[in-house]
Structure 1
Amino acid sequence: MDKKYTIQKSPFVVPTTDGKLIEEHFGNATDGNSQVSIAHMIAPSGWSEPFQTPEFDEYTYIIKGKKQFIIDGDTVILEAGQSIKIKKNTRVQYSNPFDAECEYIAICLPAFSMDLVNREEG
């Protein structure tokens, strides 16, 4: 009989070169699920990513610290307990220019993949 649930005890740790911790609990890298991805992230102080225009909706919930979003030219800063939905095909840059690390959950629909994130060079 198929189990009706899956407990994730060993998320896939995405290799990074920028000091950011990415633990994918469900998604392409972990269980081959291309419908949705759920990841736990810790972004160190001073971290940033290039601008990107993902082909997925991304929901972010801030657990600790603050995170900066530049969304179509608007600068938005979220703090612990706040969340945001950024619609697919929106140009966005994520960063943590603040003194403390930022811990958050990211959910992507469909699931995050490098083929869909469309990061800009430079």
Structure 2
Amino acid sequence: MKKYEVQTSPFIVPTNDGKLIEEHFGFASKNHGDFSFAHMIAPAGWSEPFQTPEFDEITFIISGKKLIEVEDEKILLEKNQSIIIKKGTRVRYSNPFEEKCEYVSVCIPAFTIDRVQRENS
């Protein structure tokens, strides 16, 4: 049995908001649910509805910045900064700025549309 796997063609998650999501490892890409690892690019002006995920999510910013609303608190995350949002926390991610935001995200257990628990916008 091989002790490693090189990912050369991540799964591109379909979106309708201009955000690029490339899942390298996770439920959608490799059909495993322990964790997911994705590279993302949020365009300028992007936002999504509040959610209360059933997973911990770690985000690391590569470039740009991202606004994170954790319940009633607003957090600005910038290049080379990271954050973990614990499962069961009401959170909203957005990029209300004039430049794109590039980042990576790890979800434990893996992201699925059922686990994200998005609110109606």
Please state which band the TM-score falls in when normalised by the shorter chain.
Answer: over 0.9
| Alignment partner of 1:17 is 2:3 | no
CA distance in 2, matches of 1:33, 1:25: 11
Q: Which amino acid aligns with 2:10?
A: P
Q: Which runs of 5+ in 2 are unaligned?
A: none
Q: CA RMSD in A?
A: 0.4
> Residues 31-50 of structure 1: CA distance to partner in whole angstroms, max 9, x if unpaired?
01100000000000000000
| Alignment partner of 1:58 is 2:57 | yes
Instruction: Indicate the percent of aligned positions where both proteins have the same amino acid.
Output: 61
Q: 2:78 aligns to what?
A: 79
> Residues 18-42 of structure 1: CA distance to partner in whole angstroms, max 9, x if unpaired?
0000000000001011000000000
CA distance in 2, matches of 1:16, 1:115: 16
Counting only pairs closer than 5 Å after superposition, residues 1-122 of structure 1 correspond to structure 2 as 2-122=1-121
Alpha-carbon shift at residue 72 of structure 1 (Å):
1.2
Q: Which runs of 5+ in 1 are unaligned?
A: none
Q: Which amino acid aligns with 1:86?
A: I
CA distance in 1, matches of 2:21, 2:85: 19
Matched residues, number: 121
Secondary structure at the residue paired with 1:25? strand
Alpha-carbon shift at residue 97 of structure 1 (Å):
0.3
With structure 1 as the length reference, what TM-score do the two structures score? Answer: 0.98
Q: Which amino acid aligns with 2:87?
A: K
CA distance in 1, matches of 2:6, 2:73: 38
CA distance in 2, matches of 1:51, 1:74: 13
With structure 2 as the length reference, what TM-score do the two structures score? Answer: 0.99
